[in-house]
Chains A and B, each alone.
Chain A
Amino acid sequence: MTDTLFLNVRLLDPASGLDIAGELLVRDGGIADLGPGLGRPDGAATVDGAGAVLCPGLVDMRAGLGEPGGAYRETVAAAAVAAAAGGITTVAALPDSRPAIDEPALVRLLRARGEETGSLTVLPYGAATRGCRGEELAELGLLREAGAVAFTDGARALGPARLMRTALAYAAAFGARIVQHPEEPTLAEGGVATEGELSTRLGLPGIPAAAEAILVARDIRLAALTGGAVHFAHVSTAEALALIRRAKDEGLAVTCDTAPPYFDLNETAIGDWRSYARLSPPLRAESDRAAVAAALADGTIDAVASDHAPRDADDKRLPFAQAAPGGAGLATLLAVTLAQVQGGSLPLGRAIELLTAAPARLLGANAGRLAKGAPADLCLFDPDRIWQVSAGALPGKAQNTPFDGRALEGRVIGTWKAGRRVFGG
């Protein structure tokens, strides 16, 4: 394999704190050297970044990939196309597929499906309970041995306190986190929108915002009780974030992520019954959106994930309350996060950390950093290039974006997986 030298790039590596104009040399699929003033080896190909940002390939710690069982909505191959267009080179795949990822062989299968794409490393979550049914624990040890990065029931909360306690305690023995969908299930049952003036006006069954904080409060106490590690996915309310902030201050093993809809949109996006904006958890009041945005900068939120939930037209072309929840998120992950940087509330380095080094650390993945010897998984983006999101014209298969029509600043120019260009150019 010939060498590739990236010229005229802004090297941005939150893991090491590097943010400097320079070059980066790729050799044999790995990063051979980086920094200002690198010479060009004989025969090396060059990529002129023209001042664009070169950062580690993004690590998306939460996405549904459609397989197995949902290939009409999404496939790993199609998701890989969308991911590459979004600068993502590693993704943690949710286990609530059909069948659920509750067998070691399925963990290996999903990893292999990723390898087949040549552009996307797929890190499977294992099901926390058999079939993600929320009844009995799955074989966490065997799943972990097969390569499961953590355990979760995906879009479904581990509801009973006793079950959550057992899962946290048992998973700790295998050094794995339990990833929780933080929504108290009996309060959320039947609800499709955040309870409040808007749900009342639209006549939609509501879910109180407190359903999130209630489960978060309980699970923090269970983490303290068991010594287990809990990670809250797509956190979306100020109240839950305050609880998580306090738990972190106490030194508990509590982490969390959020997804772009929760800091970029508020509940008014569901007006006129827009089923593409039907998400789980539902979009929140503006005060909660602002709290999520603030928590990106202050460190309460550990990572930003796409929360990619592919849905097809039959899932969404229904009356709002009957439409399936979930939004496509791979292609828009970076640009919607960058909108917070342009808004002035989030430094660029922190934004990229939330998308690279931080989730890689949570997943224990060898990814998300620019360093000699690290895999050459790279994302080159122009932070000023303007584009518009258009449902129907997204890369990959799933088109159910809640950001349809949104104008964004910041676009991926190229993505490289182990030194090979997989997007752009």
Chain B
Amino acid sequence: MRHLLAIQGLPPSAVTALLDLAESYVLLNRTGKTPRDRLRGRTLINLFFEDSTRTRTSFELAGKRLGADVITMTVATSSVNKGETLLDTAATLNAMNCDLLVVRHAVSGAPALLAQKVDAAVVNAGDGTHEHPTQALLDALTLRRRRGTLDNLVVAICGDVLHSRVARSNIHLLTALGARVRVVGPPTLIPPAVERLGVAVFHDMAAGLDGADVVMMLRLQQERMARGLVPSAREYFRFYGLDAAKLARARPGALVMHPGPMNRGVEIASEIADHPTQSVIREQVEMGVAVRMAVLDMLARAGGDA
């Protein structure tokens, strides 16, 4: 594996290997004994064209816990605003001899384009409405630790699936590992022909959650309401927000996930988000660091030792 640009096309064996490695980092993180020599002398650049405190911090922490020199560049401080193209930026980064490049970009395919032009291993940290591979990996790790296997697990992905890179990566990963995936949302927020990706589509949330083992909520951006895809936040919450009554349709003890940041009262009720046994939202954040360590480690190994 030279880059991690997408889950689509990644063989299940590679996914499993990443999850196994991440598993070991969960334990090391908890004991504080991470191998700080793993990436010693390596340079990791976090290149964020779109701000994301959570993902950026998670990658920074992952790099530091493995001993890499970590630099974060965000769009506000980069020359991209001054008319420099993405490929000029790539040439600049190449000249700096960066080993690992983590890219977040608002346009689908931007990390793939960068990967063609830089020597560094590229990790897609979210591109447009395409993919967010490390989020799907951390979700899978969370589920695997809780349920042992993803095989035959019924997972309902709910909300703004159309604009969600998290949903796309999760659909590819979960179906590849044998889960039965449903997508739930209003017709205006379901991607065209999504059933061709191997999922079942539901517009009625109660039916979509019926018997589900896992309910994966997605963030609804205010912009969607501005564009008229959803009439209002209160209407959205009434029909597609996760509350106790809707969650009751799922299997008893069904797990609730959210990639964050949450809009409480829009897509999820606070009592569910903070549920002591069913919500695994904070655990997802912990798994995020471990998964990103595994990804950086794996890519660094593939690139040869420094």
Contact = CB atoms under 8 A, between A and B. Distances in A.
A250 interface: no
A318 B192 contact: no
A200 B191 contact: yes
Determine which residue in A195, A314, A317 has the highest number of CB atoms from chain B within 10 A of its CB, and name it: A317
A319 B191 contact: no
Interface string B213-236: 000000000000000000000000
A320 interface: yes
Contact of B8 (A196, A201, A318, A319): A201
Interface in B98-115: 105, 107-110, 112-113
B128 A203 contact: yes
A203 B85 contact: no
Contacts of A197: 192-193, 196-197
A166 interface: no
B196 A319 contact: no
Interface in A159-206: 195-197, 199-206
B108 A319 contact: yes
B160 interface: no
Contact of A202 (B86, B87, B108): B108
A387 interface: no
B56 to A, nearest CB: 20
Interface of chain B: mostly helix, strand, loop or mixed: mixed
Interface in B1-34: 8
A207 B28 CA distance: 48
Contacts of B165: 203
Contact of B127 (A196, A203, A205): A203
A314 B85 CA distance: 9
A15 interface: no
B86 A196 contact: no
Given A273-B113, A314-B85, A321 B107 contact: yes
Contacts of B182: none
A203 B192 contact: no
Contact of B108 (A195, A208, A272, A320): A320
B130 A203 contact: yes
B61 interface: no
A203 B87 contact: no
B131 interface: yes
Contacts of A196: 192-193
A318 B85 contact: yes
B213 to A, nearest CB: 25
B199 to A, nearest CB: 11
Interface in A52-87: none
Given A273-B109, A319-B108, A203 B129 contact: yes
A201 B196 CA distance: 10
Nearest to A190: B227
A268 interface: no
A74 to B, nearest CB: 21
B194 interface: yes
B168 interface: yes
Contacts of A203: 108-109, 127-131, 165, 168
Given A197-B197, A200-B197, A203-B165, A319 B110 contact: yes
A345 interface: no
Given A203-B130, A203-B165, A314-B85, A321 B197 contact: no
Nearest to A192: B108
A322 interface: yes
A206 B194 CA distance: 13
B85 A202 contact: no
A194 to B, nearest CB: 9
Contacts of A318: 85-86, 113
Contacts of A208: 192
Contact of B85 (A206, A273, A317, A320): A317
A279 to B, nearest CB: 16
Determine which residue in B8, B127, B129, B165 has the highest number of CB atoms from chain A within 10 A of its CB, and name it: B129
Interface string A194-231: 01110111111110100000000000000000000000
Contacts of A199: 191-192
A201 B197 contact: yes
22 contacts: A197-B193, A197-B196, A197-B197, A199-B191, A199-B192, A200-B168, A200-B191, A200-B192, A200-B193, A201-B8, A201-B168, A201-B197, A202-B130, A203-B130, A203-B168, A204-B108, A318-B86, A319-B109, A319-B110, A319-B128, A321-B109, A322-B107
